[in-house]
Structure 1
């Protein structure tokens, strides 16, 4: 489990200068999308279009699902990348955010996963909300999760015959996401994922993150890629 940092906007801006938004314009999916005449207004891709000036349900910049027992949305980064943190902008309907809003109640209990597949159970659970109330959950959440992965998965649930805290909206789980930004590094030779521009400290490391080697160059193995071995083709 990783940490959630609730930073002021200028703090997020400063952090983002060191990383690239890997999710921007990438393929997306959402479970149980809205159908009918409003379907185009709530497409899954709205959460990675780079637009977050209108956080309303009618602005065409947010995702909205149809509210079943579970709600899943993911973005496919198209390859396994070094991720540092994820920022979620939730739908507010441009109204006062707080305990009087149903939007806060739908946000409660959400989880964030990073996985190499679309199966969240096989990935890393970055965060599971179990402490917020409708009075304390913010509309913008910054989740630090320094791992490698291809799919960033948002999940929430409102299961039948399960008791939830009184603040929770219990008439279905919704994906009300206006923007999901995934900050990290794209692969370049021997990059250090925590800095994006610095070389890995180990000369035989192919890829590293936070100064820890994540993969050795061909012909090397070990924690620091310090042991060489012979590559051969057996017949």
Structure 2
């Protein structure tokens, strides 16, 4: 038996969860390019007419692959996903010419449009034209911004009997039920994630699935290790004057940069021809100004002909004149 769905305002609710996909941006591969088959039709909340020409379904040209996705616009904690396949308003099952195009489909949740960077929620390797449902629901308690429908018929793969030779989209509605805001859980969407530094938690149990930037640990109770910051502590601090003063949250160097670097993150080299603390020093007469050390001003490939010294700031003729002057004074 399928759950009942009721529209309320701009959202739809199922068992207390919110359809966060409703009227969100959508895309489909090999789009036909006319409104009655637009990708957005599969998230417009309409599913009273599941026919090919009803204008309530997404449809694309049939090819070796079929990809459709909805952009939830922000990362959401998801509970379950429901798909209404196109039936053409005809009896469903082996007598329908459409069922073979859905066999083998997959559903992913990802933070990008690349399904392989996300979580595989469901991969059909069981359904036949006799058993695939017209309305399909899978539970997938993860978090992400994109929900991706994918199917394929690759030329080097042998598929089971009953599978079509190619695939298309043919989706009349795809609903994504979960929390409408970041950091909540529970069927009534009212409970904040129990761990203070938890950004996303399991929508049923509240167990933390992802910490806020700058934190780590089972309950997000630990700051990033020294020299690291950001989401999952995956970012490396820049050239801070004191690495202990690198913000574990956003990487800002709180007491400034080492010589040769600038910017809040101290990851930007001094502009060409400058060096030192806050890049306030000007390089000397280097043979190649690009080879002036941004840290201490040393000319790494030597000086212009009339200059010498590590910094190439001393003129040779000045030294000669000074030598002559000293000799004259001694002779007197």
Provide Cα deviations, 1:148-187, integer angstroms capped at 9, x if missing partner: 10110000111224321111111x2110000000001122
Query: 1:102·1:169 contact (CA, 8 Å) conserved in 2?
Result: no
Q: Deviations over 1:195-218 (max 9, x none)?
A: 521233334434422311234457
Matched with 2:164 is: 169
Give the 3-state SS of the residue equivalent to 1:41 in structure 2.
helix
* 1:67 and 2:62 matched: yes
Among 187, 194, 208, the residue aligned to 2:181: 187
Partner deviation per Cα, 1:21-56 (whole Å, 9 max, x = no partner): 111000010000114xxx221000000000000000
Deviation digits for residues 66-87 of structure 1 (CA, Å, limit 9, x no counterpart): 1011000000001111111100
The aligned residue for residue 306 of structure 2 is none
Q: Is 1:122 aligned to residue 120 of structure 2?
A: no
CA-CA distance at 1:8 after TM superposition = 2.2
Matches within 5 A, 1:64-103: 64-103=59-98
Q: Using a 3 Å threshold, how does the CA distance of structure 1 residues 218 and 158 change in structure 2: closer, same or farther?
A: closer
| RMSD of Structure 2 on Structure 1 (CA) | 2.3
Residues 133-152 of structure 1, C-alpha deviation per residue, up to 9 Å, x if partnerless? 10000000001111110110
Offset of residue 107 of structure 1 = 1.0
CA distance in 1: counterparts of 2:137 and 2:67, whole angstroms: 19
Aligned runs of 1:1-80 on 2, under 5 Å?
Answer: 7-10=1-4, 16-35=14-33, 39-80=34-75
Give the Cα separation in 1 of the matches to 2:194 and 2:114: 33
Whether 1:196 and 2:189 are equivalent positions in the alignment is yes
Q: Contact conserved, 2:15 with 2:187, CA < 8 A, in 1?
A: no
Match of 2:198 in 1: 205
Are 1:85 and 1:142, in contact at CA under 8 Å, matched by a contact in 2? yes
Question: In the alignment, is the contact (CA less than 8 A) between 2:18 and 2:179 conserved in 1?
Answer: yes
CA distance in 1, matches of 2:142, 2:168: 26
Partner residue in 1 for 2:221: 226
> Distance between the aligned counterparts of 1:217 and 1:67, measured in 2?
42
**Matches of 1:138 and 1:45 in 2, distance apart?**
22
Q: 1:219 offset after TM fit, Å? A: 6.7
**Computing the radius of gyration over CA atoms, which structure comes out larger, 1 or 2?**
2
Query: Which is worse superposed, 113-122 or 214-223?
Result: 214-223
Residue of structure 2 equivalent to 1:3: none
SS in 2 for 1:180: strand
Structure 1: gaps spanning 5 or more residues: 1-6
Q: 1:130 to 1:213 in 2, by over 3 A?
A: same
Distance 2:156 2:51 in 1: 31
Deviation at 1:62, TM superposition (A): 0.4
Q: Which has the higher contact order (CA 8 A, sep 6+)?
A: 1
| TM, length-normalised to structure 2 | 0.62
